[in-house]
Amino acid sequence: MIAVGRRPQTEGLGLAEVGVEIDSAGWVQVDDRYATSAPGVFAAGDVIGSLGLASTAMEQARVAVCHAFGFEYKKETDQFRPTYIFSIPEVAWVGLTEEQARASGTEYEVGRSSFGTNAKARISGFPDGLVKLVFRVSDKTLLGVHIVGELATELIHLGQFVMHEGGTIDRFIDATFAVPTRSEAYKYAAYDGLMRLERHTRSRTAG
């Protein structure tokens, strides 16, 4: 498969005639309220160059509707939006990658748990993949979650909710997960992270 990019289908909508600004590629320009340059006209989803995900487009539209009609329940979009691919196996992630954490100057560590050692994954016959947690060394705050494997698109929300609370990987250590379940991989990824953190701390102290 070769992905060559996307382009907006905005031709013939009469946007210029009503004063809606678009860029040179045809994407509709909006502000943080999803308002366009034309009074009373809002836009969301693929026409503004978002991720091409239905979930993202719907959340943008809800924010736009609230601003357009003065509703109070949703004024901004989620800062921790999951990204996902319904491939085989599925792929899903939220928050920072290792590369992004490194580029930001954040001292980070990771924890991993393979579905090959997860009882439910082995029972189901789909043991490929893993859960990876990216967390800050100084306080164990969860910065990112990356999952490859069956039901990755379902499992990603557990990490997303912890990130919303500014939580640490200890949340997975403290929680009781049903056994056998794929979600239990979060706990073992957190244990792996704690072991790596201990080795990281010892190495820095020895140095």
Find where tokens 């809606």 sit.
Answer: 20
The yes-or-no verdict on residue 4 having pLDDT over 70 is no
Q: What is the tens place of the pLDDT at every residue in 95-149?
A: 999 999 999 999 999 999 999 999 999 999 999 999 999 999 999 999 999 999 9
Q: Can you state the angle between helices 152-164 and 185-206, rounded to 10 degrees?
A: 50
- pLDDT, averaged across the chain: 92
The pairing of beta strand 142-148 with beta strand 108-114: unpaired
| Cα–Cα distance for residue pair 78/80, rounded to 1 Å | 5
| Cα–Cα distance for residue pair 95/160, rounded to 1 Å | 8
Amino acid 51: pLDDT: 67
More confidently predicted of 8 and 192: 192
Contact 162, 89 (CB under 8 A): no
* 96 contact partners, CB below 8 Å, separation of at least 6: 104, 106, 108, 134, 143, 144
Q: Copy the structure tokens of residue 60.
A: 């943008």
132 forms bridges with which residues in the sheet? 112, 146
Q: Copy the structure tokens of residue 51.
A: 């991720």
Amino acid 203: pLDDT: 76
The residues of the chain that CATH labels 3.30.390.30 are 83-206
Buried-exposed string 72-84: b where 16+ CB fall within 10 A, e elsewhere: eeeeebeeebbbb
Amino acid 97: pLDDT: 97
* 143 contact partners, CB below 8 Å, separation of at least 6: 95, 96, 101, 106, 108, 134, 135, 136, 163
Confidence of residue 54 (pLDDT cuts 50, 70, 90): confident
The yes-or-no verdict on residue 37 having pLDDT over 60 is yes
Amino acid 7: pLDDT: 80
CATH topology of domain 83-206: Enolase-like; domain 1 (3.30.390)
**Alpha helix (H) residue ranges in 41-118:** 54-69, 98-103
Confidence of residue 2 (pLDDT cuts 50, 70, 90): low
Count of other CB atoms within 10 angstroms of residue 164: 12
| Cα–Cα distance for residue pair 45/52, rounded to 1 Å | 7
pTM: 0.84
The yes-or-no verdict on residue 165 having pLDDT over 70 is yes
Number of DSSP helices (H) and strands (E) in the chain, helices first: 7, 5
The yes-or-no verdict on residue 204 having pLDDT over 60 is yes
